[in-house]
Structure 1
Amino acid sequence: MYELFFEEFNKKVPITAEEQEQIKHYLTPKKLRRKQYLLQEGDVCKFIAFVEKGALRAYSVDENFTENIIQFGLEGWTISDLYSFLTEEPAVYNIDALEDSELVLISKSAHEEMLQTIPKYETYTRLNITGAYLAMQRRITTIISSTAEERYQDFINLYPHIAQRVPQHMIASYIGLTPETLSRIRKKLSSGK
């Protein structure tokens, strides 16, 4: 069950078979059906989820009941409401499965214990948080300084695998567009104008 988790871990921080067995004791497998919630707004996020198989999304819902997607999570990625996880305050995001999914969960207590007792886990966590911060900074810069067409092109270039697996209205939400605007952009790009 933990094959991809350890494959990704080893890409960032090589570990021995013994260290892998030690870490395994802290991990919890979880399966979600399509449309099933992993986290609902208002609950405290008690885990970080690594996606072994499937696709998830993290999103908020505004006062007009519009979904605002802030993150996708596909195979090899982690997904969580990190603020809620770290502060133990209620989550502001919902996380649900876009496909039947298999996850590896790391609870708050397991996370804290591994940070203290497994130095390579601390390094792995630091690298993940740094990568997430850089991705968030790039996304913010793109949203505030790019045209709608540039945002879509940037998304397609960075995440072609996501574009093939999620509905267009979710891509529109992620890049801050209405589905209608995205449809016009896609039509314009396909006609070569």
Structure 2
Amino acid sequence: MTASAKQLLKKNISKHILLTEEKADEFCELFESRFVKKKESLLKAGEICRFEGFVNKGLFRVYHIDRDGVDQVLYFAAEDWWVTDIDSFTNERPSWLYIEALEDAEILLISKENKEFAYRNIPEIEKLFRIMTQKTHVFLQRRIIDNMSKTADERYIEFIERYPQLFHRLSNLQIAAYLGISHEFLSKIRKKISQKK
């Protein structure tokens, strides 16, 4: 793990819990650094997810392919974000999801065994993952409510306002897959918004 990757991980941890430098170093040692090329999959449907990942560089999409062969993006993960299939990772069951790099990337991976080791030997880490899990639940709950109650136009505007650092790194197809609409419908929304300016 590079020094800059370690510093970014430590900074992320410090947003959630207080950890001594010694314990933070011990926790960081439990991660394996991996470089992933653009379009390479970190996880495919049918595989068991053996990691939780912290993105040091690059951008990933976490998606599902529906019965009509359409990609449905659950979320994107850029620098300083975490990525996994929590169901597959926790329950050791085949994943329904794909995790794919949209750019050349570096990710820090922790295995289930190493995470359990951290729980036993660095008790604060359990609090770290509890807090992160709660934040993820809040995000997913809000996303579900937004999908049920807001128009596609509103969801698009909210997406570009909430994630300005992602907007220019994603194609229209990827944004449409996140919003649950067709590429053509997204083009109509963008045209309508640009005409109002």
Judge same fold: TM > 0.5, yes or no: yes
Q: Which of 9, 28, 31 matches 2:13? A: 9
Q: Which of 39, 57, 73 matches 2:77? A: 73
Q: Distance in 2 between matches of 1:124 and 1:186?
A: 39
Percent identity of equivalent pairs:
35
Q: Distance in 2 between matches of 1:13 and 1:31?
A: 28
Residues 70-97 of structure 1: per-residue CA shift (max 9 Å, x gap):
1100001001111000000001001010
Q: Distance in 2 between matches of 1:100 and 1:144?
A: 34
Secondary structure of residue in 1 paired with 2:15: helix
In structure 1, stretches of 5+ residues that fail to align are none
Q: Does the 8 Å contact 2:71/2:177 carry over to 1?
A: yes
Question: Aligned residues, how many?
Answer: 193
Secondary structure of residue in 2 paired with 1:105: strand
Correspondences of 1:85-100 after superposition (within 5 Å): 85-100=89-104
Runs (4 or more) in structure 1 with deviation over 6 Å come to: none
Residues 50-105 of structure 1: per-residue CA shift (max 9 Å, x gap):
00010001111122221111110000100111100000000100101000001110
Correspondences of 1:21-40 after superposition (within 5 Å): 21-40=25-44
Query: Scaled by the length of structure 2, what TM-score is found?
Result: 0.95
Secondary structure of residue in 1 paired with 2:130: helix
Whether 2:105 is the aligned partner of 1:101: answer yes
In structure 2, stretches of 5+ residues that fail to align are none
Q: Residue 166 of structure 2 corresponds to which residue in structure 1? A: 162
Q: Residue 54 of structure 2 corresponds to which residue in structure 1? A: 50
Query: Scaled by the length of structure 1, what TM-score is found?
Result: 0.97
Q: CA RMSD in A?
A: 1.1
Q: Does the 8 Å contact 2:73/2:174 carry over to 1?
A: yes
Q: Does the 8 Å contact 2:51/2:109 carry over to 1?
A: yes
Q: Does the 8 Å contact 2:9/2:28 carry over to 1?
A: no
Q: Does the 8 Å contact 2:58/2:104 carry over to 1?
A: yes
Letter in 1 for 2:99: I
Secondary structure of residue in 2 paired with 1:121: helix
